[in-house]
Chains A and B, each alone.
Chain A
């Protein structure tokens, strides 16, 4: 029997919910093939165009004069963004040139994870051909995973969710006020929760005896709107109906976590940044799922950190440099989050994927950097195979295009061959979220008309990013 949202809501009132709670049951979970099962995916956006060349930076030349080229374009001193070789935190060798690579010195927290756990994948050169230098266009390309073809509805995570979950499921939560493009979807509900403790349904205080009547009326008008042929009406109906149920299930996760894991909570507070606090909200929800709290079934999360559009005031690695501050925020927060989840015993079931809409130009302007092309992604988690993947982009003058940007290439003979960002998405969906290969191709279609030497030779989604 198909469970309508109306029935679902009525069921929720009585405390007997079929769909999501069933999914939460350990025995049932194992039998659900082709799903993320008892795993989690956390997506992190560095919004504004993170300077990848000052995230994973060549320490020496290797076989490709990478460090020379870096020093030639990036200044030291007043307004300069050059990171001195000696200060970089080594992570391994560039697969192509053999150059030693290092992290921005402010990414100390991330480096600690790399050295102590070995479960951080640094994936270089991720992008797509003819990179758009517009934030909006490029972000949308990454979010929809659709650079060349006709526009697709929803984001890549959203379409994946729509393919794997029913309309009464609430499989994902975004820690924000609104939904980012990668999580937009049409048939299943994604919650936006900025603060769990504020997520309760706001009933009037006056007469508590009337709450049941208010709830029933609210449920009825939203259930009626849900399923309307008018698209916005339907959208609001679905969102409000899912909100009502979740507004009863999610807020208690705050107290649960603060009671059981106060010492961990304090570690996020000590970082004192909103990004750390956002990750803590994710930790609270994962803890809730692990504790079996009814109607809490989220497996996909998103957080973002803004401020990466460093046209000016970017800084190098001196105290107070804007990019360094952002890196410190992200590195330190991820470290606490990782260790918190490890302490919960769940880190082997968590993968964290970090992306940005583009990188920045190798040639700096007077005290910052303008928009660039492909950049690095990060993947970390207990079952992630650590190390350097993908090639550092070729930043030598001769290889730059006439805008001064690095060139994306899928030519098999190009030693600097780039990484198709959709190959990362596909590998995560296939190997981590259990989505069958053909289903991935359906929701993330290839552009078969483009020449394979340059465009979209998306492979088999078998990038070796996870431990066996």
Chain B
């Protein structure tokens, strides 16, 4: 058991960097350690990581391709890696597709909004999303009129953005009646173009008196702990106030055991994101942890995301995932998102992207968009409103080959000396073991390479002992073996995990 005062090893700091940012480049590691006076604890590291003022970045660009590439470039040198990673989490949570929105400006503005609220108040964030122009296009709010309401947004607001289909005991959180009624609250909403300011057309709004047969605007008569009367969401007034009232009611919804539904669901997703897959289907121990974290962060009273993140970053479950190689049955690991693999690898190898296609500098290969398409994660184009499937779903023969190909493209970028391993490690080294250690150190994973893997790499460098010392000053050796070793480590099973 640890707490915020628990001191951290350098490997644990690397772990924190990998999970809250994009890899652990030695230079960034040094800076971070210096910022906490070389005495890292769970608490001072969390405060250092969370103590930035958000930069409200938006991926501009005329078309989704350009916007995607600009965002990728921004991720390579973000002001705060954590802020960027949080925005990726929320982009997945409130998944919105450029192809469905049809206008990059609106979606860029949504990403800026996510930056603004990424460590703010979660209830405010959901209220912003409710009337976000890109979301109104994505889930048909602009086509939700009183004559025949469109249920798309109402359903996903409950299923994906707040409650989830079932609570942790497997009981439904809402019914089709709740979907139909909440859809009424959103009828008539539209936005002014191009500013995206929300605008209610009262002629298209479903006032209760317009359609008495649809019943009173009451929700959660059978779920949520509100009792058989449920909640009347017109109590605060219809129209402008109604959407906010609905949101407030969602945030009061409780699981069948009385715990707050929204707090549990969002905490659980964050634990899955920052820790591991056990939180996808939590058992009793995981549920107890979720409840403890919510309580420690006072989340249901404040909905303050920053406090929630900090509580997670000092908690044992977060450090439970920092295990070093070799991995056993009990080791908790997670598979890197493609965009994490892509960005952290660029940062670790010091590679630049250039041209409109964001190609690897010094190579004439695929651009960022193609690489990420093949790896299965194109920003601004999640596969559906459900966002991306995580963990093992990232991995298939096709996406693995895409990762291997990207690693190959980096080490093959020799034109103009774009990939410079001599700048990443000391090329005076001749001992194969020391070279392997230097390479894994430069890639921020010295703690993740097993003894067996290390031996494979040594055997590779020495051609199974035939060449026991390695002369990296020989260009052929450097270009073949050192480049090859970098590719192998980046292609290795361990490097896909964090």
Contact = CB atoms under 8 A, between A and B. Distances in A.
A204 B487 contact: yes
A364 interface: yes
Interface stretch (B70-78, B285-293, B476-484): B476-484
B165 A137 contact: yes
B460 A213 contact: yes
Nearest to B386: A136
A222 B463 contact: no
Interface in A186-226: 189-194, 198-199, 201-207, 209-210, 213-214, 216-218, 220-222, 224-225
A240 interface: yes
A305 to B, nearest CB: 13
Interface string B142-180: 010101111110010001000001000000000011011
A466 to B, nearest CB: 31
Interface in B361-392: 373-376, 384-386, 389, 391-392
A204 B408 contact: yes
A202 B150 contact: no
A202 B404 contact: yes
Interface stretch (A88-96, A104-112, A367-375): A367-375
Interface stretch (A12-20, A159-167, A229-237, A443-451): A229-237
B298 interface: no
Interface stretch (B52-60, B119-127, B247-255, B394-402): B394-402
A210 B467 CA distance: 14
A442 interface: no
Interface stretch (A113-121, A172-180, A385-393): A172-180
A237 B497 CA distance: 12
A30 interface: no
A274 interface: no
Given A204-B411, A246-B397, A366-B148, A233 B159 contact: no
A364 B457 contact: no
Contacts of A291: none
Contact of B460 (A179, A191, A214): A214
Given A229-B329, A232-B334, A239-B396, A218 B143 contact: no
A247 B401 contact: yes
Contacts, number: 190
Interface in B389-424: 389, 391-402, 404-405, 407-409, 411-412, 414
B479 A233 contact: no
B488 A311 contact: no
Contacts of B484: 204, 210, 213-214
Contact of B395 (A206, A239, A311): A239
A178 B463 contact: no
B491 interface: yes
A186 to B, nearest CB: 10
Interface stretch (A127-135, A257-265, A423-431): A127-135
B445 interface: no
Contacts of B143: 311-312, 365-368
A76 interface: no
B335 interface: yes
A440 interface: no
B148 A364 contact: yes
B430 interface: no
Interface string A397-426: 000001100000000000000000000000
Interface string B436-470: 00000000000000101100110110010000000
A228 interface: yes
Contact of A202 (B140, B152, B405): B405
Contact of B479 (A133, A177, A206, A242): A206
A179 B396 contact: yes
A297 interface: no
Contacts of A366: 143, 145, 147-148, 150
A243 interface: yes
B496 interface: yes
Contact of B150 (A177, A213, A225, A368): A368
A363 B147 CA distance: 12
A275 to B, nearest CB: 16
A371 B277 CA distance: 30
A246 B155 CA distance: 42
Given A229-B329, A239-B400, A311-B140, A224 B408 contact: no
Contacts of A207: 476, 479-480
On chain A, which size bracket covers the interface?
35 or more
Contact of B331 (A191, A210, A214, A230): A230
- Name which of B143, B179, B386 has the most chain A CB atoms within 10 A of its CB: B143
Contact of A228 (B148, B327, B398, B463): B327
B389 A230 contact: no
A77 interface: no
Interface in A139-188: 151, 174, 176-179
Given A194-B374, A206-B412, A243-B397, A236 B404 contact: no
Contact of B453 (A132, A224, A367, A370): A224
B492 interface: yes
Nearest to B462: A213
- Name which of A203, A217, A218 has the most chain B CB atoms within 10 A of its CB: A217
Nearest to A193: B398
Contacts of A48: 384
A136 B386 CA distance: 8
B42 to A, nearest CB: 24
B494 interface: yes
Given A203-B408, A366-B143, A370-B151, A177 B391 contact: no
A134 B411 contact: no
B493 A236 contact: yes
A221 to B, nearest CB: 5
Given A224-B452, A366-B143, A236 B397 contact: no
Contacts of A135: 384-386
Given A178-B389, A207-B476, A207-B480, A201 B401 contact: yes
Interface in A288-345: 306, 309, 311-312
A201 B399 contact: no
B140 A221 contact: no
Contacts of B277: 232
Contact of A235 (B165, B392, B402, B407): B392
A202 B408 contact: yes
Given A177-B376, A206-B483, A232-B333, A243 B327 contact: no
A176 B402 CA distance: 12
A176 B383 CA distance: 12
A221 B492 contact: yes
Contacts of B384: 48, 135, 306, 309
A189 B396 CA distance: 9
Interface in B293-340: 327-329, 331, 333-335
Nearest to A228: B327
12 contacts: A151-B281, A177-B374, A191-B396, A193-B398, A203-B408, A205-B412, A206-B483, A209-B480, A221-B492, A229-B327, A243-B397, A365-B143
Interface of A: 48, 132-137, 151, 174, 176-179, 189-194, 198-199, 201-207, 209-210, 213-214, 216-218, 220-222, 224-225, 228-230, 232-233, 235-237, 239-240, 242-243, 246-247, 306, 309, 311-312, 363-368, 370-371, 402-403
Pairs A-B, 3 closest by C-beta atoms: A192-B396, A230-B327, A229-B329
Given A134-B165, A210-B481, A371-B151, 4 more contacts: A136-B386, A191-B397, A206-B480, A366-B150
